[in-house]
Structure 1
Amino acid sequence: MAARNPNFIVKTGWKKWAYNLSRFNQYGLRHEDCIWESPEVKEALRRLPADILDERNFRIVRAMQLCCNKVVLPQEQWTKFEEDIPYLRPYLEEVKREIQEKKDWDKQ
Protein backbone atom coordinates (compact mmCIF):
# COMPACT_ATOMS: atom_id res chain seq x y z
CA MET A 1 0.00 0.00 0.00
CA ALA A 2 2.73 2.47 0.93
CA ALA A 3 4.74 1.73 -2.21
CA ARG A 4 1.99 3.22 -4.38
CA ASN A 5 2.16 6.55 -2.57
CA PRO A 6 4.32 8.92 -4.67
CA ASN A 7 5.60 10.65 -1.53
CA PHE A 8 6.87 7.31 -0.24
CA ILE A 9 8.76 6.72 -3.49
CA VAL A 10 10.31 10.21 -3.38
CA LYS A 11 11.33 9.83 0.28
CA THR A 12 12.81 6.40 -0.38
CA GLY A 13 14.69 7.75 -3.40
CA TRP A 14 16.21 10.53 -1.30
CA LYS A 15 17.12 8.07 1.44
CA LYS A 16 18.86 5.79 -1.07
CA TRP A 17 20.71 8.73 -2.57
CA ALA A 18 21.90 9.94 0.84
CA TYR A 19 22.77 6.39 1.87
CA ASN A 20 24.99 5.89 -1.17
CA LEU A 21 26.48 9.37 -0.83
CA SER A 22 27.68 8.62 2.71
CA ARG A 23 30.01 5.94 1.29
CA PHE A 24 30.21 3.80 4.45
CA ASN A 25 28.44 1.08 2.49
CA GLN A 26 31.43 0.90 0.12
CA TYR A 27 33.44 -0.46 3.04
CA GLY A 28 30.79 -3.05 3.89
CA LEU A 29 29.54 -1.15 6.93
CA ARG A 30 25.96 -0.80 8.02
CA HIS A 31 24.41 2.45 9.20
CA GLU A 32 24.41 1.37 12.86
CA ASP A 33 28.11 0.47 12.69
CA CYS A 34 28.83 4.21 12.43
CA ILE A 35 26.83 5.37 15.45
CA TRP A 36 28.72 7.46 18.00
CA GLU A 37 29.19 5.30 21.09
CA SER A 38 27.37 7.15 23.85
CA PRO A 39 26.84 5.41 27.21
CA GLU A 40 23.43 4.22 25.98
CA VAL A 41 24.92 2.76 22.80
CA LYS A 42 27.70 1.06 24.77
CA GLU A 43 25.10 -0.61 27.00
CA ALA A 44 23.08 -1.69 23.95
CA LEU A 45 26.25 -3.15 22.40
CA ARG A 46 26.94 -5.03 25.61
CA ARG A 47 23.49 -6.63 25.33
CA LEU A 48 23.90 -7.73 21.71
CA PRO A 49 24.19 -11.47 21.10
CA ALA A 50 27.80 -12.57 20.63
CA ASP A 51 27.41 -13.55 16.96
CA ILE A 52 25.92 -10.18 15.98
CA LEU A 53 28.61 -8.32 17.91
CA ASP A 54 31.31 -10.41 16.21
CA GLU A 55 29.86 -9.59 12.78
CA ARG A 56 29.83 -5.88 13.68
CA ASN A 57 33.43 -5.98 14.90
CA PHE A 58 34.50 -7.81 11.72
CA ARG A 59 32.85 -5.15 9.53
CA ILE A 60 34.52 -2.33 11.46
CA VAL A 61 38.00 -3.93 11.39
CA ARG A 62 37.67 -4.72 7.69
CA ALA A 63 36.59 -1.14 6.97
CA MET A 64 39.55 0.26 8.90
CA GLN A 65 41.91 -2.02 6.96
CA LEU A 66 40.38 -0.97 3.63
CA CYS A 67 40.61 2.69 4.60
CA CYS A 68 44.29 2.32 5.54
CA ASN A 69 44.96 0.71 2.16
CA LYS A 70 42.91 3.45 0.45
CA VAL A 71 40.66 0.96 -1.36
CA VAL A 72 36.99 0.07 -1.22
CA LEU A 73 35.23 -3.25 -1.65
CA PRO A 74 34.12 -4.40 -5.10
CA GLN A 75 30.66 -3.01 -5.84
CA GLU A 76 28.96 -6.41 -5.52
CA GLN A 77 30.13 -6.55 -1.87
CA TRP A 78 28.84 -3.09 -0.91
CA THR A 79 26.08 -3.01 1.68
CA LYS A 80 22.84 -2.34 -0.14
CA PHE A 81 20.18 0.04 1.18
CA GLU A 82 17.58 -2.71 1.26
CA GLU A 83 19.88 -5.09 3.19
CA ASP A 84 20.85 -2.57 5.88
CA ILE A 85 18.42 -3.63 8.58
CA PRO A 86 18.72 -2.11 12.07
CA TYR A 87 20.25 -4.64 14.44
CA LEU A 88 21.04 -2.31 17.35
CA ARG A 89 17.86 -0.22 17.46
CA PRO A 90 15.72 -2.64 19.53
CA TYR A 91 18.42 -2.91 22.19
CA LEU A 92 19.03 0.84 22.17
CA GLU A 93 15.33 1.59 22.57
CA GLU A 94 15.16 -0.84 25.48
CA VAL A 95 18.12 0.86 27.19
CA LYS A 96 16.55 4.30 26.69
CA ARG A 97 13.22 3.08 28.12
CA GLU A 98 15.01 1.69 31.17
CA ILE A 99 16.88 4.97 31.72
CA GLN A 100 13.63 6.91 31.42
CA GLU A 101 11.94 4.52 33.84
CA LYS A 102 14.75 5.01 36.37
CA LYS A 103 14.38 8.80 36.05
CA ASP A 104 10.63 8.49 36.59
CA TRP A 105 11.20 6.35 39.69
CA ASP A 106 13.72 8.85 41.06
CA LYS A 107 11.18 11.68 40.74
CA GLN A 108 8.77 9.94 43.10
Structure 2
Amino acid sequence: MSAPHFAGFIRARPWLHRLVQPVANWYANAAAYRQLGLRADDLISEEDETVLKALKRLDEKTSYDRVYRMRRATQLSLQQKILPKAEWTKPEEDTPYLEPLIAEIIAEQKERAALDNLEIIKSH
Protein backbone atom coordinates (compact mmCIF):
# COMPACT_ATOMS: atom_id res chain seq x y z
CA MET A 1 0.00 0.00 0.00
CA SER A 2 3.03 2.24 0.07
CA ALA A 3 3.20 2.55 -3.71
CA PRO A 4 2.41 6.04 -4.99
CA HIS A 5 -0.92 6.52 -6.72
CA PHE A 6 -0.99 8.87 -9.67
CA ALA A 7 -4.57 8.09 -10.69
CA GLY A 8 -6.05 11.31 -9.30
CA PHE A 9 -3.32 13.39 -10.91
CA ILE A 10 -3.88 11.70 -14.27
CA ARG A 11 -7.70 11.85 -14.13
CA ALA A 12 -7.56 15.58 -13.37
CA ARG A 13 -5.81 16.18 -16.69
CA PRO A 14 -7.93 14.87 -19.61
CA TRP A 15 -5.08 15.09 -22.13
CA LEU A 16 -2.88 12.95 -19.88
CA HIS A 17 -5.72 10.50 -19.24
CA ARG A 18 -6.20 10.02 -22.99
CA LEU A 19 -2.47 9.46 -23.36
CA VAL A 20 -2.15 6.92 -20.54
CA GLN A 21 -5.45 5.03 -21.02
CA PRO A 22 -4.29 2.77 -23.90
CA VAL A 23 -1.20 1.76 -21.92
CA ALA A 24 -3.34 1.04 -18.83
CA ASN A 25 -5.72 -1.10 -20.90
CA TRP A 26 -2.82 -2.99 -22.44
CA TYR A 27 -1.26 -3.62 -19.04
CA ALA A 28 -4.53 -4.89 -17.54
CA ASN A 29 -4.94 -7.31 -20.44
CA ALA A 30 -1.28 -8.40 -20.29
CA ALA A 31 -1.54 -9.10 -16.56
CA ALA A 32 -4.16 -11.75 -17.48
CA TYR A 33 -5.94 -11.64 -14.13
CA ARG A 34 -9.21 -10.86 -15.91
CA GLN A 35 -8.82 -14.05 -17.97
CA LEU A 36 -8.98 -15.95 -14.68
CA GLY A 37 -12.11 -14.09 -13.59
CA LEU A 38 -10.32 -11.94 -11.01
CA ARG A 39 -10.70 -8.25 -10.30
CA ALA A 40 -7.81 -5.88 -9.59
CA ASP A 41 -8.58 -5.66 -5.86
CA ASP A 42 -8.34 -9.46 -5.64
CA LEU A 43 -4.60 -9.08 -6.27
CA ILE A 44 -3.98 -6.96 -3.15
CA SER A 45 -1.78 -8.89 -0.71
CA GLU A 46 -3.53 -9.95 2.48
CA GLU A 47 -0.35 -9.72 4.57
CA ASP A 48 -0.96 -6.12 5.66
CA GLU A 49 -3.03 -5.60 8.79
CA THR A 50 -4.93 -2.74 7.13
CA VAL A 51 -6.00 -5.05 4.30
CA LEU A 52 -7.12 -7.70 6.81
CA LYS A 53 -9.28 -5.10 8.58
CA ALA A 54 -10.76 -4.05 5.22
CA LEU A 55 -11.55 -7.67 4.37
CA LYS A 56 -13.43 -8.01 7.68
CA ARG A 57 -15.54 -4.97 6.74
CA LEU A 58 -16.72 -6.47 3.44
CA ASP A 59 -20.36 -7.45 3.32
CA GLU A 60 -21.16 -11.17 3.16
CA LYS A 61 -21.92 -11.34 -0.58
CA THR A 62 -18.81 -9.39 -1.62
CA SER A 63 -16.65 -11.53 0.65
CA TYR A 64 -18.17 -14.73 -0.75
CA ASP A 65 -17.68 -13.51 -4.34
CA ARG A 66 -14.03 -12.71 -3.61
CA VAL A 67 -13.36 -16.16 -2.14
CA TYR A 68 -15.13 -17.80 -5.09
CA ARG A 69 -13.06 -15.84 -7.63
CA MET A 70 -9.83 -16.67 -5.80
CA ARG A 71 -10.59 -20.39 -5.57
CA ARG A 72 -11.66 -20.58 -9.20
CA ALA A 73 -8.51 -18.74 -10.30
CA THR A 74 -6.33 -21.06 -8.21
CA GLN A 75 -8.00 -24.12 -9.76
CA LEU A 76 -7.56 -22.71 -13.27
CA SER A 77 -3.93 -21.91 -12.55
CA LEU A 78 -3.27 -25.45 -11.34
CA GLN A 79 -4.89 -26.82 -14.49
CA GLN A 80 -2.99 -24.28 -16.60
CA LYS A 81 -6.24 -23.09 -18.20
CA ILE A 82 -8.12 -19.83 -18.57
CA LEU A 83 -11.83 -19.14 -18.56
CA PRO A 84 -13.84 -19.01 -21.77
CA LYS A 85 -13.80 -15.47 -23.14
CA ALA A 86 -17.47 -14.93 -22.21
CA GLU A 87 -16.59 -15.44 -18.52
CA TRP A 88 -13.58 -13.09 -18.38
CA THR A 89 -13.92 -10.10 -16.09
CA LYS A 90 -14.98 -7.16 -18.21
CA PRO A 91 -13.26 -3.80 -17.67
CA GLU A 92 -16.52 -2.19 -16.50
CA GLU A 93 -16.91 -4.97 -13.89
CA ASP A 94 -13.38 -4.45 -12.60
CA THR A 95 -14.29 -1.77 -10.09
CA PRO A 96 -12.51 -1.30 -6.77
CA TYR A 97 -14.32 -2.80 -3.80
CA LEU A 98 -11.44 -3.08 -1.34
CA GLU A 99 -9.46 0.11 -2.05
CA PRO A 100 -12.18 2.45 -0.64
CA LEU A 101 -12.26 0.44 2.59
CA ILE A 102 -8.47 0.51 2.84
CA ALA A 103 -8.46 4.28 2.32
CA GLU A 104 -11.15 4.64 5.00
CA ILE A 105 -9.13 2.57 7.48
CA ILE A 106 -5.96 4.56 6.77
CA ALA A 107 -7.87 7.81 7.34
CA GLU A 108 -9.21 6.45 10.64
CA GLN A 109 -5.69 5.45 11.71
CA LYS A 110 -4.37 8.93 10.90
CA GLU A 111 -7.22 10.55 12.82
CA ARG A 112 -6.64 8.27 15.79
CA ALA A 113 -2.92 9.06 15.75
CA ALA A 114 -3.65 12.79 15.59
CA LEU A 115 -6.05 12.55 18.54
CA ASP A 116 -3.60 10.44 20.55
CA ASN A 117 -0.92 13.10 20.09
CA LEU A 118 -3.22 15.96 20.96
CA GLU A 119 -1.81 18.33 23.55
CA ILE A 120 -4.09 20.08 25.98
CA ILE A 121 -2.99 23.52 27.05
CA LYS A 122 -4.52 24.83 30.25
CA SER A 123 -5.46 28.46 30.28
CA HIS A 124 -5.13 30.44 33.50
TM-score by length of 2: 0.79
* % same residue: 34
Matched, 1:94 2:104: yes
| Amino acid across the alignment from 2:96 | P
Pick one of 78, 88, 107 that aligns with 1:78.
Answer: 88
> Larger helix proportion, structure 1 or 2?
1
Please say which structure displays the higher CA radius of gyration: 2
Aligned to 1:15: 24
Q: How many residues align?
A: 105
Structure 1 residue runs of 5 or longer lacking an equivalent are none
Matched, 1:103 2:113: yes
Structure 2 residue runs of 5 or longer lacking an equivalent are 1-10, 119-124
* Structure 1 residue 6: Cα displacement: 4.7
Pick one of 72, 78, 83 that aligns with 1:62.
Answer: 72
RCO (CA 8 Å, sep 6+): is it higher in 1 or 2?
A: 1
Aligned to 1:26: 35
Q: SS of the counterpart of 2:55?
A: helix
Calculate the aligned-residue CA RMSD, in Å. 1.4
More displaced 10-residue stretch of structure 1: 42-51 or 89-98: 89-98
Q: How many angstroms apart in 1 are the aligned matches of 2:17 and 2:50?
A: 31
